[in-house]
Amino acid sequence: MINLVVKDLKKNFGGLHVLKGVSFEINGPELIGLIGPNGAGKTTLTNVLDGAIKPNSGTVYLGGNRIDQLQPFEVARHGLGRTFQVTRSFRRMTVLENLMVPALALDQGLSRSEIDDKAMEVLEFLTVEHLRNEYAKSLSGGQQKLLELGRLLMLNPDVIILDEPFAGVHPKLMEIIYKYIERVNNDGTAIILISHQMDSIFSLCKRLLVLNYGDLIADGTPDVVKNDPTVIEAYLGSDDEED
């Protein structure tokens, strides 16, 4: 059973308190929206959860194992993966090679040909088999996002954090990403979806976390969160603002 326990996470950059004691739990394959204004700390929280940066204090446990002091590749081995708001890929490698690298690096006991087969499965899942021999540097911004989503699947994660997967993506690819989220979640992976696109958040997520300049000000169903006066004041506004 998937169990992520985040307790009292604090992160400062110099005098800037970006996470001021964030606590929440995920139990099972939930699909959770993480929302909050620009600069609220969403990406910083993601960076702490995946091991890219260390918190000043607080703990993160995944499946009973403490992960807040681990490196990202160790966190990935424990079953947590993430995508980046600004995509990252091995630009001089092909799409297929990009998918294979993390699986080879983390050594999950699969043979080279099993990894190869799995990479093809992932490309089919994303309906982009035709891109397999393209260099990553030649992909569009949206295709880069798909590549990152594919890379996550190579590691069979229990929990994935998607940092703005829809931002700047062509509507056709957006549909693929939308389906990816639904299917991967149905297959048993917990997902934290960070997005400023409220339509997508409200239609996909059954639970929302609202981060407001370092404080988690709400954690509940979309209906409850939408009507929470603190959230309305801090973020959502009285009408349906979107960007």
Ligand X SMILES: Nc1ncnc2c1ncn2[C@@H]1O[C@H](COP(=O)(O)OP(=O)(O)OP(=O)(O)O)[C@@H](O)[C@H]1O
Judged by beta carbon, residue 39 or residue 168, the one nearer ligand X is 39
Footprint of Mg ion on 33-62 (CB under 5 A): 42-43
Q: Taking CB under 6 A as the rule, does residue 38 contact ligand X? A: yes
* AA letter at 224: V
Judged by CB, which is closer to ligand X: 9, or 128? 9
Print the binding letters for residues 9-38 with Mg ion: x by CB under 5 A, - otherwise: ------------------------------
Q: Does 141 bind ligand X (CB under 6 A)?
A: no
Q: Could you tell me how many residues of this chain bind ligand X (CB under 6 A)?
A: 12
40 binds, among Mg ion, ligand X, none (CB under 5 to 8 A by kind): ligand X
Which member of 8, 13, 27, 179 binds ligand X (CB under 6 A)? 13
Taking CB under 6 A as the rule, does residue 43 contact ligand X?
A: yes
Q: Which two tokens stand for residue 31?
A: 């699909």
The CB-of-33 to ligand X minimum distance in angstroms stands at 13
Q: Choose among ligand X, Mg ion, none what residue 13 binds, the Cβ cut-off being 5 to 8 Å by kind.
A: ligand X
Q: Does 42 bind ligand X (CB under 6 A)?
A: yes
Token pair listed for 24: 């929440």
For residue 184, the partner it binds in Mg ion, ligand X, none, with Cβ less than 5 to 8 A by kind, is none
Position among 4, 6, 9, 41 found at the interface with ligand X (CB under 6 A)? 41
Secondary structure (DSSP) of the chain:
--EEEEEEEEEEETTEEEEEEEEEEEESS-EEEEE--TTSSHHHHHHHHTTSS--SEEEEEETTEE-TTS-HHHHHHHTEEE--SS----TTSBHHHHHHHHHHHHT-S--HHHHHHHHHHHHHHTT-GGGTTSBGGGS-HHHHHHHHHHHHHTT--SEEEEESTTTT--HHHHHHHHHHHHHHHHTT-EEEEE-S-HHHHHHH-SEEEEEETTEEEEEE-HHHHHT-HHHIIIIITTTT---
Which segment (11-19, 75-83, 108-116, 128-136) binds ligand X by CB under 6 A?
11-19
Question: With CB cut-offs between 5 and 8 Å by kind, which of ligand X, Mg ion, none does residue 18 bind?
Answer: ligand X
